[in-house]
Amino acid sequence: MLAKDISKLFTNPKMVEKFRDYVPFIAITLVVLMFWAICGDRFMSVRNWTFIAQQTPVLMLLAFAQLMIITTGSIDISVGSSLAFSAFFGALGMLWFGDVGLILGVLAGGVVGMINGAIISLLKIPSFVTTLAMLIIVRAIVIIASDGTSIYITAGTGASGGNITSVNAPWLLQMGKFPSIFIIAVVVAFFMWLFYEKTLFGQQLRAVGGNEKVLRLVGINVTSFKIKVFAAAGLMVGLAACVNLARAGAATPQAGMMMELDAIAAVALGGTPLTGGYGSVVKTIIGAFTLTIVRNGLTIAGVPPSWSQVALGLLLIAAIAISLNRSKIDVVK
Amino acid sequence: MDALDQKPILSVEKVTKYFGGVQALRDGSFSLKKGEVIAIVGGNGAGKSTLAKIISGAYIPDDGKVFVKGVEVERAKHSVTHMQERGIEVVYQDLALVPNMTAPYNLFLGRTPKKWGIFVDEKKMKNKTREVLEKLNVKTVQDLSQPISSMSGGQQQSIAIGRAIAWGSDIIILDEPTAALGPNETAEVEQLVEDVRDQQGTSFILISHNLDQVRRLADRIIVTHHGVTSKIFERNEITSDRLVKAITLGE
């Protein structure tokens, strides 16, 4: 009797669907338990979790930006370069205008996003190609503009060297430490959730990913909407850049390299299909934490960095294989 | 039927449309009365879709006039939004719905009600959806939080027709409404059309390849041939053979 009920549970399509919904939560639980078992207190310590809470916010904000875009069915692989660009302009803004100049960093991200959106919607060039080009161009601009040097954020005390560009902003460095950085992440996550799940804009994101043609048919201006989406995501990247500037204490030309892939991986680990139309803020947060925890756990366990990259790749494939309903997909591109 | 003696709710006079030098429609003319179902039939490329898209506002005619309730549609204003304001809605063959969104979302497509300027008023949407489904006598749609891709084709088409009716349209263009549906679902949708016509006095323009369906639903049948609305038949005066001849040969 019981065995029959259980077998029913696993063959009932509704239950399978429900199970898929919970995959990201199950995955993160398993990952935590696994590293706890392997590394013990070295992993399960206040110190280590403080470290994780400090490492995740930047990735999480980048994943939010990516989530908006992926929900519409596009992709943005320029976020890593955009992060470096935004951080550089944020630091430059502080040099020029004082503390408020940091806003320039957020706006710089918005501008990069808007350019992406305009090229994609107006010139009708696929998002992958457009943002790949921007990934290269924006990085190059940062290197040219910075002349390859970094801008440092200092805490005021101690003389800085003669040829080092630096901004004195102890408050910003404080912001980049736990718990401030984590509080910022929580606040941004709440507003992101509100924005994505409850507003007309958020609803439209899913609708565009579902059937863009129909929206055009009923007279919705999808072209301008997509530019807005990329601009909004860009602002989020700009915000991530400012948080990263606070955490790292410097705007370096190499900042954010390969982070576009981490952001996409976090979204995918959150069970969001890259084909668009669906998505979840909460699961994206879980995805971002999973990624950080796995990387952190593998390091503590003594796995060499290259091998931990391999493990992350495998985890990504496994997560998608389980969380996506592949029986409904007949064409895979 | 008494309704058929009234003034036309829509009339199309000598409408012509070119696509890059090719004449898709020439001097298309017909009129539609309140509560009437008129069918447009014709082979592929005969101009029936062009005619329907001019009425829906998707195409602007190169020549000719369109009158809605006796008032001419100005060429400068001719658009989907304007035609919607004048009470004309289209139900497309490929179910112009967003599959990953809920029934309420699709019912309100392009008209999502807002709360405090930016938020979606979900309660209002659900209530209105229940009201519309009740009006349509659709009892099969229960869970309003499911994406409509989990519903049957007939249920989805009911939502599409519901959308047209919900906003007080008095003219609904059905563009191959059952082309993607099975026989049972087709019967369901046909019944829905008849109910709506009888209860709300809605007029329908039916574009269909299914001649049996056309003969079941339409009061009058317009045949287009090579871009010309060649013949208009009353339902009673036409046999299937005669209809097929008109479509293929233009006789």
Distance CA B83, CA B108 (A): 17
Q: Which domain holds residue B39?
A: 2-94+170-249
pLDDT at res. A143: 95
Measured between CA atoms, the residue of chain A closest to residue B95 is: A214
Per the structure block, which two tokens stand in for B191?
Answer: 């019944």
Segments of chain B with pLDDT less than 50: 1-4
Q: How far is CA A195 from the centre of its chain?
A: 16
- Binning pLDDT at 50, 70 and 90, where does residue A108 land? very high
| Mean pLDDT score, A183-202 | 96
Q: Is residue A333 part of a domain?
A: no
Most confident of A27-31, A176-180, A289-293, B11-15: A289-293
Chain B residues touching residue A278 (CB < 8 angstroms): 100
- Of A222, A244, A206, the C-alpha closest to A88 is A244
Residue B216 three-state SS: helix
Q: Does residue B210 lie within any of the structural domains?
A: yes
Number of domains in chain B: 1
- Spell out which residues of chain A touch residue B96, defining contact as CB-CB under 8 Å: 213-214, 217-218
Q: Which residue of B has its CA nearest to A214?
A: B96
* Closest Cβ–Cβ partner in B92, B101, B120 for A210: B101
Give residue-wise pLDDT tens across range A306-318. 888 898 888 878 8
Q: Is residue B104 part of a domain?
A: no
**B149 located within any domain:** no
Give a yes or no: residue B203 inside a domain: yes
> How many Cα atoms are found within 13 Å in the side-chain-facing hemisphere of A216?
9
Q: With beta carbons less than 8 A apart as the criterion, state whether A55 and A181 touch.
A: no
A217 contacts B96? CB cut-off 8 A:
yes
B63 domain-assigned: yes
| pLDDT confidence of residue A326 | 63
Whole-angstrom CA distances from A90 to A65, B55, B230 are 18, 54, 69
- Taking CB atoms and an 8 Å limit, are B98 and A210 in contact across chains? yes
Q: Are B172 and B192 in contact (CB under 8 A)?
A: no
Residues in chain B within 8 Å Cβ distance of A210: 98-101
Q: In what order do the strands lie in the sheet with A250-251?
A: A165-168, A151-154, A250-251
Does residue A166 fall inside a structural domain? Answer: yes
**Domain contains A330:** no
Count of structural domains, chain A: 1
Q: Which two tokens stand for residue A241?
A: 């850049």
CB atoms within 10 A of CB A62: 32
Q: What angle do CA A303, A305, A308 make, to 5 degrees?
A: 65
Side chain identity at residue A163, one-letter code: N
Among chain A, residues having any CB pair with chain B shorter than 8 Å are 198-201, 203, 206-207, 209-211, 213-215, 217-220, 277-278
* Token couple for B201: 């006095």
Q: Is it the case that residue A159 has pLDDT exceeding 60?
A: no
What contacts A118, CB < 8 A, 6 or more positions away? Answer: A227, A230
- Entry pTM: 0.85
Q: How many CB atoms are located within 10 Å of the residue A258 CB?
A: 9
Has residue A12 been placed in a domain? no
The bridge status of strand A151-154 relative to strand A165-168 is parallel
Residue A171 is assigned to a structural domain of this protein = yes
A162 pLDDT band, cuts 50/70/90, is: low
Q: Which CATH number belongs to the domain containing residue B52 in this structure?
A: 3.40.50.300
Parent domain of A59 = 42-321
Q: State how beta strands B171-175 and B203-207 pair.
A: parallel
Burial grade of B52 (CB within 10 A; 0-12, 13-18, 19 or more) = buried
Mean pLDDT of A272-297: 92
* Buried residues in A229-243 as b, exposed as e (16+ CB within 10 A): bbbbbbbbbbbbbbb
Name which of B92, B98, B146, B173 to mutate to probe chain A: the one with the most chain A Cβ atoms within 10 A of its Cβ. B98
What's A242's domain CATH number? 1.10.3470
Beta-carbon separation of A214 and B100 below 8 A: no
Written as six digits, the tokens of B170 are 């008095």
Would you call A206 and B96 a contact, using CB atoms and an 8 Å cutoff?
Answer: no
Could you give the ipTM of this predicted complex?
Answer: 0.79
Domain presence at residue A56: yes
B97, B112, B118 member nearest A214 (Cβ): B97
What DSSP element (H or E) covers A133? helix A127-146
